[in-house]
A and B are shown apart, each in its own frame.
Chain A
Amino acid sequence: MLSYTLKRIFQLIPVLLGMTFIVSMLIRAIPGNPAQVILGQQATAEAVQALTEKLGLDKPWYIQYIDYLKGILTGDLGESFRTHAPVVEEIWPYLAATVELAVFAMIIAIFIGINAGIVSAWFQNSWFDYIAMVLALVGVSMPIFWLGLLGQWGFALELNWLPTTGRESVRDPVNAITNFYIIDTIIQGEWGQLKEVIRHLILPGLSLATIPMAIIARMTRSSMLEVMRSDYIRTAKAKGQKMFFVIYKHALKNAFIPVLTIIGLQLGLLLGGAILTETIFAWPGIGRYIYDAIGFRDYPVIQSGILVVAFIFVMINLIVDLLYSFIDPRIKYD
């Protein structure tokens, strides 16, 4: 198990390396010289030339790329062209904001999705089943931005129940420690702020959760229906076990294996979906960070931002694979 994990981590190196290469090629395809963008249209040619040299942009692309890789190996993700701050330090608050949103959304999606799927399978062809599956179908085909705007219009503008944008109340900002605001407000005992943080999470969280929730619900339902026909389910009933345990213990553990695959995939996609959601809800996350960096041709930020997202993505996949063997004793990775 440990050797398998190490092997898998080792295999990630070429994947991430290839990714950095592609990204470094792509950013150079964005038109515009960063020095020019930073200095503005009025800047003299000499000033632009000087800054270009200072940023190392006059060197051939492969030298720049190798320099960048050397930096990564020593844990240096480069320095922002714009703010001159090291990306490693600057990126964290944005990353934490995205992770908090994604985890919040995923918890909602998993909790509601799995339970809806189970109840639909348990009471197959009931009105609950029909309504849940119609909603799930609507859910998967709903564009996030449309859902987000709809939520803002309904719950924020019309009903005025929830805030439209941001992570916290502007009048009472959170004192960041870990940058996960739920954790920060709890350790500081700021319950009023915690309430605000959660209120801010609801709309973006729900719009981000909708698609994975719908997919998880459908997957859970079909997986449960299949498992419920198994002989070992009949055995569990024949023992005199309560239906609740037959379903939530014997059936769910088996039905969960394909659902886990879906959860892993959706969690990855969620990071991508977060960029869109962050734009609509002005969420100060990694998506926004990279998006703004593109506007400024801030190469190190773009490159390292994408690298970090990709790294998280592959780590999620690895964790999901390891979880399989944890759930299913028949899967052995050695």
Chain B
Amino acid sequence: MEDKKVMLEVNDLQTTFFTDSGDIPAVDHVSFHVHDGEVLGIVGESGCGKSVTSLSIMGLVPNPPGKVVGGDIHFEDKNLLDLSEREMRKVRGNDIAMIFQEPMTSLNPLFTIGHQMMEAVLIHHKKKGKQYAKDRCIEMLELVELPRAKDLMDEYPHQLSGGMRQRVMIAMALICDPKVLIADEPTTALDVTTQSQILKLIKELNDRLNTALLLITHDLGVVAKTCERVIVMYSGQVIEEAPVDKLFDSPKHPYTQGLIQSVPDVRKKQDRLYSIEGNVPLPGSIHKGCRFADRCKFAFDRCFNENPEFYQTSDVQKARCFLYDKEGAVEHDKALTRS
């Protein structure tokens, strides 16, 4: 698996919102990569910067107030951040496509499904003509298992259910054969049954089309079912990176450990759900030290004064925590004996 080609590589990405109440570093030195055909999960609580990360890749951060202020995003020997708006438009929807959380509002209510899907084709393949675009739309609608594909072309979004609309969004995102698909909480707004159907579909399509998939979610259940590798975000930073089995079996960062304990496990009998005390600090509200320090039961002096590096804990796993620094291990043991 490791010899696969890296499709997208994000290095040290920094995206800041310049607001009246101060600068918010919503994405703070975030680095990760995704391989060809791989499913990379990005997990984290709401507000930790997942959506801003994906919008930064697409070049769609609302500006003002937001701006990518540092880092690079490598895709096919290009740094996307160096591209002009015009060059970036050729990447959007064509090389890198995106689906969003809200299927109910993500389609334009005043245009037919067919019109909106054909637009997605024609923007990038104008020369192939309308008939090609139309055939391609019907093919894609059938691929996402929507019945009556031909009739759907003439229908408006309000005539479809949420699940159907999300299928349309998926079909539309994949219509130009993108190399990377970013799915930002694609099932969060759907009911449980529809959720698992859509997730299954996304997974199948990823296997079949071999698209690299960046699956953003706050739901560890989704991660367990779908992803191969995971990065965990906390308050604008990546705090852990691990293959999915390692993440669940031996989470390294205390935050990840807490997260995993807070997932109800049907195999174990539990009296009470574990939950991490305290709240996620807003990006920008902390200037010094580890962002999780306030909520961390292992925190020691250094955690409040220095920002930890991203330590390699094994050849496939990394954690942003001083426990994995050499001296940290000692402190860890001290903390464990204290508690």
B-binding residues in A (CB < 8 A): 230-232, 234-243, 250, 253-254, 327-330
Check B92–A239 contact: CB distance below 8 A.
yes
Please name all residues of chain A whose beta carbon is closer than 8 Å to the beta carbon of B158 when the two chains form the complex. Answer: 329-330
Instruction: Give min CB distance, A217 to chain B, whole Å.
Output: 22
Check A238–B93 contact: CB distance below 8 A.
yes
Check A235–B123 contact: CB distance below 8 A.
no
Please name all residues of chain A whose beta carbon is closer than 8 Å to the beta carbon of B110 when the two chains form the complex. Answer: 253-254, 327-329
CB < 8 Å: which of B58, B106, B111, B123 contacts A231?
A: B106
Please name all residues of chain B whose beta carbon is closer than 8 Å to the beta carbon of A241 when the two chains form the complex. Answer: 89, 93, 119, 123
CB-CB contacts below 8 Å: B90-145 with A? 90-94, 97-98, 100, 102, 105-111, 119-120, 123-124
- Known A-B contacts A240-B89, A240-B90, A329-B156; A235 and B108 likewise in contact (beta carbons under 8 Å): yes
Check B91–A232 contact: CB distance below 8 A.
no
Check A240–B94 contact: CB distance below 8 A.
yes
Check B100–A235 contact: CB distance below 8 A.
yes
Instruction: Give min CB distance, A220 to chain B, whole Å.
Output: 16
Please name all residues of chain B whose beta carbon is closer than 8 Å to the beta carbon of A330 when the two chains form the complex. Answer: 109, 156, 158
Please name all residues of chain B whose beta carbon is closer than 8 Å to the beta carbon of A254 when the two chains form the complex. Answer: 108-110
Please name all residues of chain A whose beta carbon is closer than 8 Å to the beta carbon of B106 when the two chains form the complex. Answer: 231-232, 234-235
Instruction: Give min CB distance, B85 to chain A, whole Å.
Output: 8
- Known A-B contacts A231-B100, A328-B110, A330-B156; A240 and B60 likewise in contact (beta carbons under 8 Å): no
* 20 contacting pairs across A/B (C-beta < 8 A): A231-B102, A231-B105, A232-B106, A232-B107, A232-B108, A235-B107, A235-B108, A236-B119, A238-B93, A238-B100, A239-B92, A240-B91, A250-B108, A250-B111, A253-B108, A253-B111, A254-B108, A328-B109, A329-B156, A329-B158
Number of A-B residue pairs having CB atoms within 8 Å of each other in the complex: 67
Please name all residues of chain B whose beta carbon is closer than 8 Å to the beta carbon of A232 when the two chains form the complex. Answer: 105-109
Complex: A195 Cα to B108 Cα, angstroms: 44
**Chain A contact residues: over half helix, strand or loop, or mixed?**
helix
Chain B interface size, as a band, is: 20 to 34
Check B109–A240 contact: CB distance below 8 A.
no
Asked whether B172 is an interface residue with its Cβ less than 8 Å from the other chain, the reply is yes
- Known A-B contacts A241-B123, A329-B158, A330-B156; A236 and B108 likewise in contact (beta carbons under 8 Å): yes
Please name all residues of chain B whose beta carbon is closer than 8 Å to the beta carbon of A250 when the two chains form the complex. Answer: 108, 111
Q: Which 7 A-B pairs have the closest CB atoms?
A: A240-B93, A240-B92, A239-B93, A231-B105, A232-B108, A329-B156, A231-B106
B98: nearest chain-A partner, CB-CB: A238
Instruction: Give min CB distance, A99 to chain B, whole Å.
Output: 30
Complex: A239 Cα to B108 Cα, angstroms: 13
CB < 8 Å: which of B60, B94, B109, B119 contacts A234?
A: B60
A254: nearest chain-B partner, CB-CB: B110
Instruction: Give min CB distance, A249 to chain B, whole Å.
Output: 8
Complex: A8 Cα to B158 Cα, angstroms: 26
Instruction: Give min CB distance, A199 to chain B, whole Å.
Output: 40
Interface string of B140-182 (1 = CB under 8 A from A): 0000000000000000101000000000010010000000000
